[in-house]
Structure 1
Amino acid sequence: MISEFRPARRRGLSLGLYFTLVAALSFFSLTKEAQAITGPHTVVLDAGHGGFDRGGIPGQRVAEKPMTLDVAQRVARKLRAGGYHVVMTRDSDVFVPLSVRVAIANGLRDAEFVSIHFNSATRAGANGIETYYYRSDSARLAANIHRQVVGGTGTENRGIRRRGFYVLRRTSIPSVLVECGFLTNPYESSLALQSSYRERLADRITSGIIGQSPPYNRPVVAGLTHVASPIGGGYNDFVSPAPERPSFSHHARSSGRSGRHHSTSSSKKKKSGKSKKKKKSDDN
């Protein structure tokens, strides 16, 4: 009995050690995976609009939603090739509410959120690159991306602006929104339609995310009011945000149910008991 018991005991110990090692390796693998997802090299890429929300303003010839998705997918490929973990708020032509985009970002720790858009205006001559941030811990990321995009594409520098857009105000991680030119501008829309230009935009956005030294930057366009840089270092791209553009008043509400990256609110009130006046305000 003793001679038969000892081998069985050894087999039991061997099996126990085997399962312990398997459990330890599984735990290590899951831990590494969790670190990859929530570590400092995680980037949430938010391609603006999608689905029934084509982006832009009424009557705009070039839709915004396919442009933002294409650039975001290019950035994702470049970041993944560099070892970054990338989460896309949308990876196809679907509508994703702003609240869901924010929830995706807030579900990750130690990550960064980059929302990619193209601009639009009722004035066809409006052109250039704008970058937005809201939280103070997002200013450096905004500056890095902005300088890369402006310096690498040669377009007008419309400055870095602080504004309480929904996806910037409601996220709990560093978050920026970059406007990659005006699709209502004939020249910039023709560039956006070129695959080579969207590839260049993706290169520049990627370089800004990973913190590469920016190329020579063009000064901001005349007429903009400079504000003190919140990050120091001689950055002179920070400007005061312009008033809310009337052409955007039909877009997203503060609930985040629409696909527009920013939100406005409007209310009607009587004036002198006779006329009604629409009030517009930033959703700060």
Structure 2
Amino acid sequence: MPRNFCRLRLLGLNLLIALLACGSSYAARTSRTSESSGSLTTVVIDAGHGGHDRGGIPGQRIAEKDMTLDVAQRLRNVLAASGYRVVMSRDSDVFVSLPTRVAIANSYRNAIFVCIHFNATQRSGAGGIETYFYSRDSLQLASAIHSYVAGGAPSSNRGVRRRGFYVLRKTNIPAVLVECGFLTNPTEAAYAGSASYRQKLAEEIAAGVRGRNIVGSASYVDQTKVAKSEHRRSKRSQKKGARKKKSSSKPAGSEARSGSIDRES
């Protein structure tokens, strides 16, 4: 009887050790997953432009609004498959004002805001990928997304930049704006015209979202002072030619990127 009792105690002890080992392994995996995803539950995806606002510059052949929506929808699918809750500022070809886009983003907690754009300029040779942020707590997210997108694209790397675009300045959650290439550059326009390339853009942005707590903060170019200077010059110009401006101006809030569309600097 004592021998059987000892055997039972030994068996129970071994079982307890095995359970503790499994529990420790599970806790470690859970900890790593939690560290990677943080407390993030929602990603607000903002497809630039839409409706009467084609985006880009006058005479541009490819409508930016179509490219941004396609990438945004692909990004939604990738993130949803990874378990994220995804909110779209627009999911069809409709115009959404900048304040409305910001209001959508600010209505969610434990969330991030990812704005999708393509660039444009009068100089067809300009090209590359660039990512913008404004608040300091958005730098790491911008760095991670830019690292993946620029690293996976055949275009040049124009770096991470800080600038006070409306949708970045007014949001209360980490927010970035990704410029996925120049639609006025023939080579990059051809890339954007490929469904497989747009899918790759979506997957790289999603990888940046997932890896935002892993990739370190990048160095960046601070363009906030440049933007303020451009804004002052623009206001002076508007006062001088108010009548001419009034007849040719765009609808208010139609451009998500403040100041000049030219990104050649």
TM score, norm. by length of structure 2: 0.71
The match for 2:218 is 235
Q: 1:198 to 1:213 in 2, by over 3 A?
A: farther
Query: CA–CA distance in 1 between the matches of 2:105 and 2:153?
Result: 28
Answering whether residue 253 of structure 2 is matched by residue 258 of structure 1, we say yes
User: Could you tell me whether the CA contact under 8 Å between 1:48 and 1:259 is conserved in 2?
Assistant: no
Q: Where does residue 163 of structure 1 map in the other structure? A: 163
**Structure 1 counterpart of 2:101:** 101
Higher share of residues assigned helix? 2
Cα offsets for 1:172-226 (capped at 9, x unmatched) = 0000000000000010001100101101101100100111799xxxxxxxxxxxx
State the match for 2:47 in structure 1: 47
1:58-87 per-residue CA deviation (whole Å, 9 max, x = no partner) reads: 111111000000000000001001110000
Does structure 2 conserve the Cα–Cα contact (< 8 Å) formed by 1:99 and 1:257?
Answer: no
1:94-243 matches, cutoff 5 A: 94-211=94-211, 233=216, 235-236=218-219, 238-241=220-223, 243=226
Question: CA offset at residue 241 of structure 1?
Answer: 3.0
Residues 143 and 217 in structure 2, CA contact (< 8 A), matched pair in contact too:
no
Residue-pair matches, total: 202
Decide whether aligned partners of structure 1 residues 133 and 234 sit closer, same or farther in structure 2, where only a CA change above 3 A counts. Answer: closer
Residue type at the aligned position of 1:262: R
Deviations 1:26-50 (A, max 9, x none): xxxxxxxxxxxxx622000000000
Could you tell me which amino acid in structure 1 is paired with residue 69 of structure 2? L
Match of residue 3 from structure 1: none
Which amino acid letter does the alignment assign opposite residue 218 of structure 2?
Y
**Partner Cα distance (1:140, 1:64) in 2:** 27
Give me the whole-angstrom Cα distance separating, in 1, the residues matched to 2:212 and 2:160: 18
Shift of 1:155: 1.4
- Higher RCO (Cα < 8 Å, 6 or more apart): 2
Secondary structure at the counterpart of residue 221 of structure 2: coil
Gaps of at least 5 residues in structure 1 are 1-38, 215-230, 251-255, 266-284
Cα deviation for residue 168 of structure 1 reads 0.2
Q: Is the 8 A contact 2:140 2:217 kept in 1?
A: no
Contact 1:49 1:260 in 2 (8 A): yes
8 Å contact from structure 1 (residues 42, 87) kept in 2: yes
| TM-score normalized with structure 1 length | 0.67
Give the distance between the partners of 1:213 and 1:181, measured in 2 at CA.
Answer: 25
Distance in 2 of aligned mates of 1:234 and 1:82:
24
- After superposition, the CA RMSD in angstroms is 2.5
How many percent identity over aligned positions? Answer: 58
For 2:207 and 2:252, how far apart are their aligned partners in 1? 32
Deviation at residue 259 of structure 1 after TM alignment: 2.9
Q: Structure 2: any 5+ residue segments left out of the alignment?
A: 1-38, 235-244, 246-250, 261-265
Partner SS, residue 173 of structure 1: coil
